[in-house]
Chains A and B, each alone.
Chain A
Amino acid sequence: MTDNTNQTIDWSLQKTMQDITIGEELSPIYIDVTLQRLVMEAAANRDLSLIHHDASMAKATGANDAYANTFFLYGMIERLALEWGGVKTFIRKIGPLRMLSFNCTGDKLAFHGKVSEIIKDEDTVILDVWVDNAGKVSATSQVKVILPKQ
């Protein structure tokens, strides 16, 4: 199931270490890979490689179409963690991010996450993150975040 509404986030909400339970799922983010988005992304992140906005060049490397770059996935993972945790969430580490298949123009992505580990002494939470592309996982990552104690 997908949701195409542009959900407004209540940034006054903040997770603390006391709130977290293992297995808790993050609210997923749904986003379509449009060519417009890829062009905007390339201009903004400065990865101008043609494979990220030129279908013929992307196909020559084995993809079906122009595809999102690593840095787009990184940025979306940062968004996923911040929207879940709140503005006092410090992202300590993202990765290893493993790219398993291309995320091409025309694809619909869903960024998911769940709490996999809680390290109370370090105020740290480990999130398992995955990107769903039409029912297939196209990328996985872990994210280590530091949260306020309370």
Chain B
Amino acid sequence: MASDKPSWGMQGTWEQALSYVGKVVGVSQGADAVDASSVRRWLEPKEFACPLYTDEQAAIDAGYEGKIAPSTMAITYGQPAHWQSGDKRFEHGDEPIQIPIPVIFDVPAPFSLSFATSMEMEFFKPLYHGDVVTITHELVSLVEKELRVGKGAFFKQKDTYRNQNDEIVAVGILDIFRFNPVSKGEG
């Protein structure tokens, strides 16, 4: 049952969380290949009109093999489907669908909330139309910390993005702070 106070992530002990450090905690198989429609819908809210993404000849003239997708769309193309045949019906009261970030949702820890504090991505190969992206998620480190919002820990997740030829497209590092919020009257 959803509430007006969000709470997410697998619950567990600190020791359980530590046991995941240095391990692959998830693999995300992108649901769809890069295509013109998904690129266009991504460009629209950013009012971004670059011919590399829409004009085959312009992309070739710029040195590419054909139309590409924006590099930062790797994040979108690596996401799995949010529903597929055989899954349960969506119903009132369901937990909302969240973007799959395995260090939040699949690593057990004694914290109820989380937010991202920092992210960096390196890009190695362009995303071409037809490419399919898979992401391997690894928990790199855990560092305990108390912030103004409450006590918790920084979870560092390394994401390696590969295309269908097993070539590394991008590598991302995401810092997530998972914590228990300070209660009213506390802190």
Contacts and interface: CB of A to CB of B under 8 A. Distances in A.
Nearest to A58: B6
B110 to A, nearest CB: 19
Contact of A72 (B45, B61, B98, B115): B45
B12 interface: no
Contact of A57 (B4, B44, B52, B113): B4
Interface residues on A, range: 35 or more
Contact of B115 (A61, A79, A94, A95): A61
Contact of A74 (B47, B75, B122): B75
Contacts, number: 122
Interface residues of B, number: 44
Interface string B45-71: 111111110000011011100000011
B121 A88 contact: no
Contact of A75 (B46, B61, B98): B46
B58 A74 contact: no
B130 interface: no
B97 A48 contact: yes
A74 B149 CA distance: 25
A49 B96 contact: yes
A113 to B, nearest CB: 15
Contact of B45 (A40, A47, A50, A77): A40
A68 B75 CA distance: 15
Contacts of A43: 41
A87 B58 contact: yes
Interface string B136-167: 00000000000001000000000000000000
Nearest to A46: B79
What DSSP secondary structure best describes chain B's contact surface? Answer: mixed
Contacts of A49: 96-99
Given A70-B116, A95-B121, A47 B6 contact: no
A49 B100 CA distance: 10
A61 B120 contact: no
Nearest to B81: A46
Nearest to A50: B96
A96 interface: yes
Interface centre among A38, A45, A97 (most CB of B within 10 A): A45
A41 B51 contact: no
Contacts of B58: 11, 87
A26 to B, nearest CB: 15
A36 to B, nearest CB: 8
A71 B44 contact: no
Contacts of B6: 50-51, 57, 60-61
A44 B44 contact: yes
A70 B119 contact: yes
A37 B48 CA distance: 13
A96 B120 CA distance: 5
A62 B41 CA distance: 29
Interface of B: 4-6, 38, 41-42, 44-52, 58-59, 61-63, 70-73, 75-76, 79, 82, 96-99, 113, 115-123, 149, 173
Given A48-B97, A75-B73, A87-B51, 16 more contacts: A11-B58, A46-B99, A71-B72, A72-B45, A72-B46, A74-B121, A75-B46, A75-B48, A75-B72, A87-B52, A87-B59, A88-B63, A92-B123, A93-B122, A93-B123, A95-B118
